[in-house]
Amino acid sequence: MRVGFVGIGTMGRPMAANIVKGGHELIALDADYGRATGFAAEYGVRAARQAADLASAECVVTMLPDGPTVREAYRAANGLASVLRAGTLCIDMSSSDPTGTRALGKELAARGLTLLDAPVSGAVARARTATLTIMIGGDDAAAIERAKPVLACMGNRLFETGSLGCGHALKALNNFVAAAGFTAVAEALLVGKRFGLDPSKIIEVLNVSTGRNFHTDVVMLEHVIGGKFATGFALGLLAKDVRTAADLAEQVRLDAPLTRLVSERWALARERLGPTRDNSEAILSWDVSLD
What domain range is 130 assigned to? 2-162
- Please check whether residues 54 and 103 belong to one and the same domain: yes
- Please check whether residues 144 and 17 belong to one and the same domain: yes
pTM score, whole prediction: 0.92
Which long-range contacts link 148-152 to residues 24+ away (Cβ below 8 Å)?
149/1, 149/22, 150/1, 150/3, 150/19, 150/22, 150/24, 150/59, 150/61, 150/91, 151/91, 151/118, 152/22
Q: What are phi and psi of 203, to 5 degrees?
A: -65, -40
Asked, for residue 80, whether it belongs to a domain, the answer is yes
- What is the rounded CA–CA span in Å between residue 105 and residue 289? 47
Looking at 122, 147, 162, which one is the last position of a domain? Answer: 162
- What is the rounded CA–CA span in Å between residue 260 and residue 265? 9
Radius of gyration in angstroms for the set of CA atoms belonging to the chain, rounded to a whole number: 20
- What is the rounded CA–CA span in Å between residue 105 and residue 235? 28
Looking at residue 23, which CATH number applies to its domain?
A: 3.40.50.720
The predicted structure's pLDDT at residue 280 = 97
What SS3 class is residue 190? helix
- What is the rounded CA–CA span in Å between residue 5 and residue 30? 8
Q: Which residues are marked as active site?
A: 171
Looking at 162, 190, 209, which one is the last position of a domain? Answer: 162
Asked, for residue 24, whether it belongs to a domain, the answer is yes
Contact between 203 and 225 (Cβ < 8 Å): yes
Looking at 162, 190, 220, which one is the last position of a domain? Answer: 162
- Please check whether residues 224 and 155 belong to one and the same domain: no
When divided into structural domains, the chain yields a total of 2
- Please check whether residues 146 and 186 belong to one and the same domain: no
Asked, for residue 291, whether it belongs to a domain, the answer is no
pLDDT tens string, the chain, 291 residues long: the values are 999 999 999 999 999 999 999 999 999 999 999 999 999 999 999 999 999 999 999 999 999 999 999 999 999 999 999 999 999 999 999 999 999 999 999 999 999 999 999 999 988 889 999 999 999 999 999 999 999 999 999 999 999 999 999 999 999 999 999 999 999 999 999 999 999 999 999 999 999 999 999 999 999 999 999 999 999 889 999 999 999 999 999 999 999 999 999 999 999 999 999 999 999 999 999 999 987
- What is the rounded CA–CA span in Å between residue 133 and residue 121? 5
Contact between 21 and 14 (Cβ < 8 Å): no
- Please check whether residues 115 and 92 belong to one and the same domain: yes
- What is the rounded CA–CA span in Å between residue 59 and residue 113? 10
- Please check whether residues 102 and 226 belong to one and the same domain: no
Contact between 139 and 117 (Cβ < 8 Å): no
- Please check whether residues 64 and 88 belong to one and the same domain: yes
pLDDT tens-digit readout, 77-111: 999 999 999 999 999 999 999 999 999 999 999 99
- Please check whether residues 157 and 216 belong to one and the same domain: no
Contact between 121 and 154 (Cβ < 8 Å): no
The predicted structure's pLDDT at residue 215 = 95
Reported as type and span, the H/E element at residue 100 is helix 98-109
